[in-house]
Amino acid sequence: MEQYLNALDDYINFEHSPDLQFNYILNKLEIFNNIDDELKLYFVTDIFRDVMQYVEEFGSYFLAYIKKENISSNIVKNQPKNVEDLFNNLRYDEKINSEYGFLNFNDLIINIFNLDKDNESIQNLASCINSLSYFFCYHLDLYNSIKHGFRVFDYGLDYFEDDRGKIHLNCKYFCSIGKKKEGNPYFLLYPLDALYEDSIKVLNDTKEIFSFLKKAINSYKFRFPLSNFDYVSDYSFSGYHFKITKGNTVIVLNNIDNMNIVENPEFKYFNISFKNNIFIFTSNENCSLLYPFSLKFIANNNFNLKPDFNHNYTISEICTNEDMDVSQLYYLKKLKNSMHDSKVKIKVLYNDDMLYSGNLKRNINFQNNGFDCEDNILEALIKLNKITTKIIPVPYDLSENQKEQLLEESKKINLQKDAFSLLDNVGIEYI
């Protein structure tokens, strides 16, 4: 049996050609300029479907070649979900290590392509594979909506309307009915020409990396020289600069004029709490002593099309109103001191919707935070805050005598009536 499998592996290595699917798609493209406008949607989505299948084919072989042995057995065991998992896992070195046994992405590339550690092809290969992985995972939901039931339709309007008014669309869009994680449908608007342009780019990327992969495998197995991978993929696409989510609707913008709509969204007003190593921001309609913060976000490279804010934005800035309860200053300082702690996470709830959930980002900007309160004073005030359960606005202008009295007497305080007496005697306001 082993001899048979080895022979089958050799047959696959030599006879399987990445050129076949590539040339088949190229033949289709020759008629693009002669397609009627009413058929253009079907034609473009058909090309896109072929390209996604081509990327999936590459992913299946790439996954099979990770072990370099029993190629035929590995290929027949691979399912579409395995390819999706592979492309998602390639973003995380810890996943590459736990799932495939390599130290990191570069180590995986070096081993699969049989390269020296200082080979100049490594970064080009990584960039190209990243580009394909990103494209495939981002568009997987759209791919499924086309492949399973052709849930795509023309979009006849030249604008999209949300809470900020009309967003004018500068090109032809189509709509798709996608499926959220829990199975419910959502409505997707996507620029048609951008999907076509990006599909062609990915088609060429896949052909180059797939052909090089086959050469590398045969070079390793049959000991002939392998040239460098000089092809460069720039990892930039025209079709998904930003996505806007409104309820169960997602619109993908490629119009540079509309970027300011989503580039720096700002949400007001928030309270900070801390529990189980998680900082939780909770929203309120009005600014107050308990809700003194506003948050700004920047757009991420989205890794899917589903209406999920977490995949679309990262907190970039925390702005603070000077007037706040002592608990809010306490948690703000705690947040700043936790920026390099990998165990600490953050959640942002806005009108009961999850805006963000993930790790703390070290590049968060803290604005309007020049005001402060000494740590020992703040700790004493927090103690009184908890005992009295009252709002205590941060007293920034305490005299040295007031501070000394607060620090000395707060050590002995355990009863609520004594806490109120101390606040009154020191002259600290509470609400």
Q: Concatenated DSSP letters for 224-261? A: --------------SS-SEEEEETTEEEEE--GGGHHH
Cα gap 217→62, rounded to integer Å:
10
Q: Rounded to the nearest 10 degrees, what angle do helices 105-112 and 122-147 cross at?
A: 100
- pLDDT digits over 164-199, tens only? 567 777 788 899 998 877 778 888 889 898 899 899
DSSP codes of every residue in 371-426: ----HHHHHHHHHHHHHH----B--TT--HHHHHHHHHHHTT--SHHHHHHHHHHH
Cis peptide before 269 (omega within 30 of 0): yes
- Cα 16 → chain centroid: 35
pLDDT at residue 299 above 60?
no
Q: What average pLDDT does range 193-211 have in this prediction?
A: 92
130 CB-contact burial (10 Å; exposed 0-12 / middle 13-18 / buried 19+): middle
What is the reported pLDDT for 34? 82
pLDDT at residue 156 above 90?
no
Q: Are 121 and 113 in contact (CB under 8 A)?
A: yes
Q: What average pLDDT does range 253-275 have in this prediction?
A: 66
Cα gap 197→174, rounded to integer Å:
15
pLDDT at residue 263 above 90?
no
Instruction: Pick the closest to residue 38 from 171, 187, 153 (CA basis).
Output: 153
Strands 249-253 and 185-191: parallel
Averaged confidence pLDDT in the chain: 83
State the DSSP code for 322.
S
Residue burial 346-366, b: 16+ Cβ < 10 Å; e: rest: bbbbbeeeebbeeebeeebee
Strands 345-350 and 278-283: parallel
Our CA angle for 338, 373, 361, nearest 5°, is 20
Confidence of residue 358 (pLDDT cuts 50, 70, 90): confident
What is the reported pLDDT for 327? 95
Instruction: Pick the closest to residue 327 from 362, 292, 366 (CA basis).
Output: 292
pLDDT at residue 342 above 80?
no
The pTM of this model reads 0.66
- pLDDT digits over 72-128, tens only? 777 888 888 899 999 989 888 888 988 999 999 999 999 888 888 888 889 889 889
State the DSSP code for 325.
B
Q: Are 27 and 231 in contact (CB under 8 A)?
A: no
Q: Are 139 and 191 in contact (CB under 8 A)?
A: no
Q: Range with the lowest mean pLDDT among 99-113, 135-149, 221-235?
A: 221-235
State the DSSP code for 195.
H
Our CA angle for 143, 148, 150, nearest 5°, is 80
Cα gap 246→104, rounded to integer Å:
37
